Amino acid sequence: MLDAAPPKDPTVQPIVSLNNVEKVYANGSKALAGVNLTVNPGDFLFVTGPSGSGKSTLLKLLYGYERPTGGNILVGDEPISDLRGNRLAMMRRRIGVVFQDYKLIPKRTVAENVAFVLWAQGFTRKEIHRRLWPTLKMVGLQGKAQCFPDELSGGEQQRVSIARAVVSTPPLLLADEPTGNLDAENSLQVIKILKKLNSIGITVIVTTHDEHLVRISNHPVVQIKNGRLHHLRR
């Protein structure tokens, strides 16, 4: 069984805070309704729910890709709905994102895909090199650095995606159905990597419909159903 995250410290400022958050799309579809959630630094949180329940919408709101219709969202002490332009871009540097479909650059090697984030943020060549190789080793891909995405399995591509998301050591990692396209063995490997990242201080929020992965973990679980959030395990 995977270990649980350390106990919460009530004196610590939350890294994510949602207060009565709603999201209604232009067609009238309500994705989220009255969502309240607090995530503290060092937490590992599973967000479950059926397809179309609002799990991905929640992560998009936290990343600032979409904006809430109502309520307040704080990432750290930043009211994310108020951020625009450079301020939003700077906030996003503190968040790593892992996608179900990997979103790798096809004509770039594993090393180039991971290093691209650092290059885009203005890191020096020396600093990119210093960060790149330990990160590839952490996800078990140091031997695949010069491979292209189409030479990798789905599990390996997802590990590249994770490496890219954390190579700049963000305090918060959002993983949207990271095991959705993987078999059981690769799914467990991905969750173990996310757990390893959590153990070094990165806060991890994972959306998933894989009940087995949730059952074998003692981490907190919330469920989104019909747009509303319910705590299943604290």
Q: Mean pLDDT of successive 10-residue segments in the chain (234 residues)?
A: 47 92 94 96 96 92 95 93 90 93 96 96 96 97 98 97 97 96 93 96 95 90 94 87
Residues 85, 18: one domain? yes
Residues 153, 223: one domain? no
- Is 7 within a domain? no
pTM (predicted TM-score): 0.91
CATH assignment at residue 37: 3.40.50.300
**Taking a C-beta distance cutoff of 8 angstroms, is the pair 229, 223 a contact?**
yes
> Which of 138, 169, 200 is where one domain is finished?
169
Q: What pLDDT is stored for residue 211 in this prediction?
A: 87
Residues 88, 177: one domain? yes
**Taking a C-beta distance cutoff of 8 angstroms, is the pair 178, 213 a contact?**
no
- Is 6 within a domain? no
Residues 139, 206: one domain? no
Q: What pLDDT is stored for residue 3 in this prediction?
A: 39
- Is 2 within a domain? no
**Taking a C-beta distance cutoff of 8 angstroms, is the pair 98, 165 a contact?**
yes
- Is 40 within a domain? yes
Number of domains in the chain: 2
Cα Rg of the chain, angstroms: 17
Q: Other C-beta atoms within 10 Å of 13: how many?
A: 11
Q: What pLDDT is stored for residue 8 in this prediction?
A: 53
> Which of 114, 144, 169 is where one domain is finished?
169
Residues 80, 188: one domain? yes
- Cα–Cα dist 182/178, whole Å: 8
- Cα–Cα dist 81/83, whole Å: 6
Residues 140, 187: one domain? no
- Is 115 within a domain? yes
> Which of 114, 136, 169 is where one domain is finished?
169
Q: What pLDDT is stored for residue 82 in this prediction?
A: 87
Residues 176, 88: one domain? yes
- Provide the domain limits for residue 122: 104-169
